[in-house]
Amino acid sequence: MLVLVGTIPVRDLPLLVGQAELTMDGLLINRQILDINRGTAAMISAACTLCTEYGLESPLCVVAGDIGARDGSVKIYEYLVNNLTKMERKVDVLTSHYIMPDIKWNKKVLEKIGCMKERPILIADAGSMYAAKAGGDATSYDIFTPDLGELAFLADDKAVHPTYTRGFISHLENDVEGLIGKAYKSGNSAHTLFVKGEEDYVCHEGAIVGKITNPRIEELEPIGGTGDTLTGMIGGLVYKGDSPVQACMKAGRANRRAGELSHPTPASQVTEIISYIPNALKDVA
């Protein structure tokens, strides 16, 4: 099964564990409706849409409210540590998204993953990716999905958070290939990277294996959540059986195509783009 984890920016939202369902009112998890605007909810919604399109089972979601106090993040870490090795069904793919980075907790999760009969494909973005890199555990992951600023963080072997990326590294953002090489050689990269930008780069074991440049829709820039939908689709495609590189290439093309089909304006919402994912997947097949 596909397992998606991350926090929701809602105060006092309890830990919710259950299969996700898209409804007219929003994202339904364990009888709780969540707004689909960006972040974890957008990632889950994109993955659900893709799974429905391919006739796959809906993902199991582990979410909790966290507005920066770490409470929801700790609940998620605790759930994973206590339950990953006890789940009745095999976990094929585990995608971790927005969560307060905690090196010790992340290492506990990885320790439990190491005890599983079959290791799942591990995908990380945002806070989950930061914790993996800062803890020296990046190579335990199969896919990271950084933007250019986050790539600079991965390339800086001293930084423990993107905020602390050293200036001379940050100024290399125009040298994407160089940053990819630095991240890989220092052991701070997952085996496959999807680097988000005006041009998207797909890399495997430190080498660029693909670029996605079109369609380039400027109106998508101010719309939050398109990076989140990408991560959700990558997880869904890997769950379907695509290799990490295949999943990254197809998700990147489909994400851009869905944006194009939605004819976005700066006022558009990510839900409009998600609704075009089925058509976009057909177009890039």
Q: C-alpha distances in angstroms, 115 versus 28, 83, 108, 190, 285?
A: 31, 12, 11, 20, 37
pLDDT in tens, 186-220: 999 999 999 999 999 999 999 999 999 999 988 88
Residue 280, pLDDT score? 98
DSSP letter for 28, please: E
pTM: 0.96
> What structural domains does the chain harbor?
2-284 (3.40.1190.20)
Residue 267, pLDDT score? 85
Instruction: Count Cα neighbours of 135 within 13 Å in the Cβ-side half-sphere.
Output: 23
pLDDT in tens, 230-239: 999 999 999 9
Residue 172, pLDDT score? 61
- How many Å apart are CA 73 and CA 64, to the nearest integer? 7
Which residue ranges in the chain fall short of pLDDT 70?
168-173
Please state the three-class secondary structure of 75-104 as a single string: HHHHHHHHHHHHCCCCCCEEEECCCCCCHH
Q: Is 238 exposed, middle or buried (0-12, 13-18, 19+ CB in 10 A)?
A: buried
- How many Å apart are CA 223 and CA 262, to the nearest integer? 12
Contact 18, 30 (CB under 8 A): yes
